[in-house]
Amino acid sequence: MRNRKTLTVLLLGLLFGISGAAYFKDKARAAHRGPASVEGKRIPWIPAPVGKHLALLKVEIAKPESIPEDGDGETVLRGRILVNQDLQGDLNYTWHMPEGVQVVSGSVKDSLANVKTGQIVDLSLTVRGFTKESQKLISLQASATRGELVLGGSAILPSRPEDTWEAVAPDMKRDAEEQLGTSKNHRR
């Protein structure tokens, strides 16, 4: 019995010792932290910041003035490509059309040379068959070379934006919250 008590006390002491050491180690590390503006020792394994605002290319398709309800009406598409960094080659872009959509005027695919940082490339394409009868998606993809990598961006335009997840999700969330709210009231 005495050996069991001694063993329990030793194990508890070891556990408290390890916990205390970890606490003071973290406390010492936190004391050396500073604001981001302060120059400090760089840790090589932390990746460089990445995000859409730092992307090589930003691609957008403006919402058309009108999308025909049905038939063979024409739709004018306007795309924009913003170059955020120096390119080491040409800027390539391609419009992708769904089945049943024909190009009336404009270039579906092209390669542009000498595009500079900060420059916005405006594109225009007129199509027929892009209507609200059924959901169709048109995409604009752009790519360029940066070092040994080919990087790019894309944008999508739906013919029925009211049927996309972005439009439906807020209603679904509200409905779910209403259902959960009423189910909480009926709990025992």
Show the tokens assigned to 14. 């070891």
Whether residue 156 sits in one domain with residue 74: yes
Q: Report yes or no on 24 lying in a domain.
A: yes
Whether residue 107 sits in one domain with residue 151: yes
Is residue 126 within 8 Å of residue 74, measured between CB atoms? yes
Whether residue 149 sits in one domain with residue 56: yes
Residue 64 Ramachandran class (φ > 0 left, ψ -120 to 50 alpha, else beta):
beta
Those residues with Cβ within 8 angstroms of residue 153's Cβ, 6 or more apart along the chain or in another chain: 55, 56, 57, 58, 59, 81, 141, 142
Higher pLDDT, 166 or 16: 16
Predicted confidence at residue 33, as pLDDT, reads: 61
Whether residue 67 sits in one domain with residue 25: no
Give the C-alpha distances (Å, rounded to integers) separating 55 from 45, 89, 144, 155.
21, 16, 11, 14
pLDDT in tens, 135-188: 888 999 999 887 788 888 888 888 877 777 777 778 888 888 888 875 444 444
Q: Report yes or no on 57 lying in a domain.
A: yes
* Full residue range of the structural domain in which residue 94 is found: 52-162
Predicted confidence at residue 188, as pLDDT, reads: 46
Predicted confidence at residue 34, as pLDDT, reads: 58
Q: What average pLDDT does the structure give for the chain?
A: 79
CATH code for the domain in which residue 73 is found: 2.60.40.10
pLDDT in tens, 87-106: 888 899 999 999 888 999 99
Q: Report yes or no on 3 lying in a domain.
A: yes
Predicted confidence at residue 125, as pLDDT, reads: 92
Predicted confidence at residue 141, as pLDDT, reads: 94
Whether residue 155 sits in one domain with residue 65: yes
Whether residue 99 sits in one domain with residue 61: yes
Predicted confidence at residue 48, as pLDDT, reads: 46
- Place 54 in a pLDDT band, splitting at 50, 70 and 90: low
Whether residue 131 sits in one domain with residue 92: yes
Q: Report yes or no on 168 lying in a domain.
A: no
Is residue 76 within 8 Å of residue 126, measured between CB atoms? yes
Q: Report yes or no on 122 lying in a domain.
A: yes
In the chain, how many domains are there? 2
pLDDT at residue 113 is higher than 80: yes
Distance CA 58, CA 30 (A): 38
Whether residue 65 sits in one domain with residue 10: no
pLDDT in tens, 35-53: 554 555 544 444 444 455 5
Percent composition of the chain: helix, strand, coil (DSSP 3-state, to 5)? 30, 30, 40
Is residue 56 within 8 Å of residue 85, measured between CB atoms? yes
Whether residue 77 sits in one domain with residue 15: no
The string of DSSP codes covering 142-162 is EEEEETTEEEEEEEEEES-GG
Predicted confidence at residue 52, as pLDDT, reads: 57
Give the C-alpha distances (Å, rounded to integers) separating 46 from 37, 42, 49, 123, 151.
17, 8, 9, 38, 22
Whether residue 87 sits in one domain with residue 5: no
Predicted confidence at residue 47, as pLDDT, reads: 45
